[in-house]
């Protein structure tokens, strides 16, 4: 029976145990952290057929997931955040990672030599990158809303100060009515849709570029 990875939008207890095992496996120096260029990349190569994360993907890990303040290394919390983000958006990629690491679709660790031999939900051809996805997480949503609020406040101040053309007053009115929110959300959604199409067609480089553009909107 295929196990669930998420329950009520959070990791199941069984999946959390597996993530603890995976983190410990790649924590070569047993310091509770993953060095970005060695331990994290070892994980990436194990999941992605020998391919490490790109420099852009590494920057995303540093920007969006918890890293140690003094060393810059990825914490276990950051690793769990990374996998949770991916699983919520594309669980099939998480299953591919698990299969590559030797787990079957019941989250049981296969005997030595059985890595990648899983069937069912975790089976895959190994093509394409996984382990990190560009999605709008809670932090990105908060940043977007903060920018929208600042834009509305700025427009309101400009209107209160008087002056400006009728066109400027019209723009201010649209901002106050929520027009700016709608435009920004529409731009973001459009970029995400284009990125998903590129990813589905196997053009991962272009999918990553478009997704980065989407994050700039936020």
Instruction: Give me 62's structure tokens.
Output: 């540093």
Alpha carbon distance 31, 75 (integer Å) = 10
Q: What is the DSSP letter of 67?
A: B
Residue partners of 39: CB distance under 8 A and separation at least 6: 26, 27, 28, 33, 73, 74
Contact 25, 46 (CB under 8 A): no
- Give residue for tokens 């030599």: 113
User: What is the pLDDT confidence band of residue 215, given thresholds at 50, 70 and 90?
Assistant: low
Give percent above pLDDT 90 in the chain. 48
Average pLDDT value for residue range 96-117? 83
Return the closest-CA partner of residue 173 out of 164, 143, 142.
164
| 217 pLDDT more than 80 | no
Residue 205: pLDDT band (50, 70, 90) is low
CB 90 within 8 A of CB 133: yes
What confidence score (pLDDT) does residue 119 get?
35
Cα 71 to Cα 6: distance, rounded to the nearest angstrom: 31
Tokens representing 210 are: 């478009």
Instruction: Give the pLDDT score at 68.
Output: 97
Which has more pLDDT, 193 or 83?
83
pLDDT tens-digit profile of 28-67? 999 999 999 999 999 999 999 999 999 999 999 999 999 9
Q: For position 169, what pLDDT does the model report?
A: 41
Tokens 């980065």 -> residue: 212
Report d(CA 85, CA 141) in Å as an integer. Answer: 14
pLDDT for position 145: 62
Give CA angle at 42 (192, 119), nearest 5°.
70
Dist. CA 191–CA 189, nearest whole Å: 5
Q: Is pTM, for the whole model, over 0.75?
A: no
Judge contact between 7 and 13, C-beta under 8 A.
Answer: no
Residue 27 has pLDDT above 60, yes or no: yes
Percent of the chain residues past pLDDT 70, beyond the cut: 51
Considering the domain delimited by 6-122, tell me its CATH architecture.
Orthogonal Bundle (1.10)
Of 39-53, 110-124, 170-184, minimum mean pLDDT range:
170-184
pLDDT of residue 8: 87
Q: What is the pLDDT of residue 125?
A: 44
Residues in the chain: 218
Q: Which of 42, 14, 49 is nearest to 28 (CA)?
A: 42
pLDDT at residue 9, as a whole number? 86
Residues 67-102 pLDDT 10s: 999 999 999 999 999 999 999 999 999 999 999 999
Domain ranges (residues) in the chain: 6-122, 138-217
């Amino acid at each position: 029976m295929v196990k669930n990875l998420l329950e009520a939008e959070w990791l199941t207890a069984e999946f959390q145990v597996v993530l603890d095992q995976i983190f410990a496996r790649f924590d070569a120096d047993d310091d509770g952290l993953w060095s970005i260029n060695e331990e994290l990349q070892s994980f990436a190569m194990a999941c992605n057929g020998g391919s490490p994360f790109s420099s852009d993907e590494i920057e995303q890990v540093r920007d969006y997931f918890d890293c140690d303040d003094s060393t810059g290394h990825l914490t276990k919390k950051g690793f769990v955040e990374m996998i949770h983000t991916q699983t919520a958006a594309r669980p099939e990629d998480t299953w591919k990672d698990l299969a590559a690491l030797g787990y079957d679709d019941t989250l049981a660790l296969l005997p030595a030599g059985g890595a990648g031999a899983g069937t069912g939900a975790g089976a895959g051809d190994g093509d394409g990158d996984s382990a990190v996805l560009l999605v709008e997480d809670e932090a990105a949503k908060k940043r977007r809303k903060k920018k929208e609020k600042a834009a509305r406040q700025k427009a309101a101040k400009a209107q209160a100060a008087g002056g400006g053309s009728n066109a400027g007053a019209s723009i201010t009115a649209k901002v106050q009515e929520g027009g700016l929110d709608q435009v920004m959300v529409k731009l973001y959604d459009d970029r995400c849709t284009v990125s998903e199409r590129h990813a589905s067609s196997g053009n991962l480089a272009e999918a990553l570029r478009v997704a980065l553009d989407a994050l700039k909107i936020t």
